[in-house]
Chains A and B, each alone.
Chain A
Amino acid sequence: MDVAWFVVLSAFIFCIGAAGVMTRRSPLVVLLCLELMLNAGNLALIAFSRMVGNHEGQVFALIVMVVAACEVVIGLGIIVAMYRRRLPIDVDRMSELRG
């Protein structure tokens, strides 16, 4: 049971998530892909924690989960607010950072 396999799997998932972020147009799905990337990171952390033999990686992963939850809350809140304002739910149309 190579720990290395878990890390490779984590890399795989991370890249899939990255491709999704770059390709999808709905912010909802972009957030989902973001979750994918975070989870991939968690997996890697726990794998390394198993390899090293202490719990620090797991605690780290736990905190990452907390952060992910908060981020999802705020992200979805923004999407809900946008929907309420009747703005288009489209990542390409949100270009006010243009300069």
Chain B
Amino acid sequence: MFFEQLLFFVAGFGAIGGAVGVVVLRNPFYSVLALVGHLISLAILFLLLTAAFLAAAQVVVYAGAVMVLYVFVVAYVGGSEEELRPEAKGLLGAFGPLFAAVLLVELAIAVIGSSLSTLDSRGADVGAGFGSPGAIGELLLTKFLLPFEAASFLLLIAAVGAVVLARKRRGLEEPADAISVADLVRSDVGTQKEAAG
């Protein structure tokens, strides 16, 4: 019990520290590393919640694959040091964090407030195999078969999209020929600004 609580606080601090690091650190590379730390802390928290399979998936997929992808991109793009000053213009710079704080307060009230009575402190009694791959797998193939298949479809689309986005013509690198972000985001009828005149 004590060990669990200790572990909770350690992992909690790790998660929060990682999160703060992501937001605060100027160099994007460092932000990526902070996020990796955050993810691993989260994995520990998952374990504390007897979600073993998910903890493993978190480490393998998220921290392992997704973050590695991030690292590659940061290396390629070469994230430079950003300016120290708050970059947002005017209102946003001042109130950005404030809005987040407001949201936090609300959520805290929501959780800790009167609705807390619905939260069972200990949680339901669960059997030994709770959170095991077998249990999750069984659900994935019976009750949640459709979301499972849809998720795989989504992955396919994402892969195709990535290929389309990143391809370049063999030998030709003229801006006019290749697809650009501007082309991607521009709609057929022009921006609202153009339409409004």
A18 touches B185 (CB 8 A): no
Q: Mark A4-18, 1 if CB is under 8 A from B, else 0.
A: 111111011111111
Q: Mark A55-94, 1 if CB is under 8 A from B, else 0.
A: 1101101110111111111101111111111010100101
Question: Which residues of chain A from 3 to 49 have any CB-CB distance to chain B below 8 Å in the complex?
Answer: 3-9, 11-20, 22-26, 28-29, 32-33, 35-36, 39, 42-43, 46-47, 49
Instruction: List A contacts of B171 (CB < 8 A).
Output: none
B42 and A87 within 8 A (CB)? no
Known: A7-B119, A50-B50, A74-B165. A59 touches B136 (CB 8 A): yes
- Minimum C-beta distance from B102 to chain A (A): 9
Report the minimum CB–CB distance from A28 to chain B (whole Å): 5
Cα distance, A17 to B28, chains bound together (Å): 15
A-B contact count (CB 8 A): 276
Bound CA–CA A72/B80 (angstroms):
20
Expressed in whole angstroms, the Cα–Cα distance for A3 and B115 within the complex equals: 13
Q: Which size class do B's interface residues fall under?
A: 35 or more
Knowing A32-B32, A73-B159, A96-B191, say if A6 contacts B51 (CB, 8 Å).
Answer: no
Cβ of B172 < 8 Å from any Cβ of A? no
Known: A28-B77, A74-B161. A20 touches B22 (CB 8 A): yes
* CB-CB under 8 A for A13 and B15, given A32-B35, A74-B161, A81-B165: yes
Option from B116, B181, B194 in Cβ contact (under 8 Å) with A81:
B181
Q: Are A24 and B23 in contact (CB under 8 A)?
A: yes
Residue in B22, B161, B185, B194 with the greatest tally of chain A CB atoms within 10 Å: B22
User: How far, in angstroms, from A13 to B39 measured CA to CA in the complex?
Assistant: 12
Which residues of B have CB within 8 Å of A3? Answer: 119-123
B195–A99 contact, CB under 8 A? yes
Question: Do A19 and B96 contact each other (CB < 8 Å), given the known contacts A66-B154, A70-B158?
Answer: yes
Taking a contact as CB atoms under 8 Å apart, the answer to whether B73 and A22 are in contact is: no
Cβ-based interface call for B10 (8 A): no
Q: How far is the CA of A71 from the CA of B79 in the complex (A)?
A: 20
A4→B179 CA distance, assembly (Å) = 48
Query: Contact: B154 with A22, CB < 8 Å?
Result: no
Closest 9 CB pairs of A and B: A99-B192, A53-B124, A70-B158, A22-B96, A19-B100, A77-B165, A20-B23, A11-B107, A15-B104
Interface residues of A (CB under 8 A from B): 1-9, 11-20, 22-26, 28-29, 32-33, 35-36, 39, 42-43, 46-47, 49-53, 55-56, 58-59, 61-63, 65-74, 76-85, 87, 89, 92, 94, 96-99
14 contacts between A and B (CB under 8 A): A7-B119, A8-B111, A11-B108, A18-B103, A20-B22, A28-B79, A29-B79, A36-B19, A67-B151, A70-B158, A80-B73, A80-B77, A81-B179, A84-B178
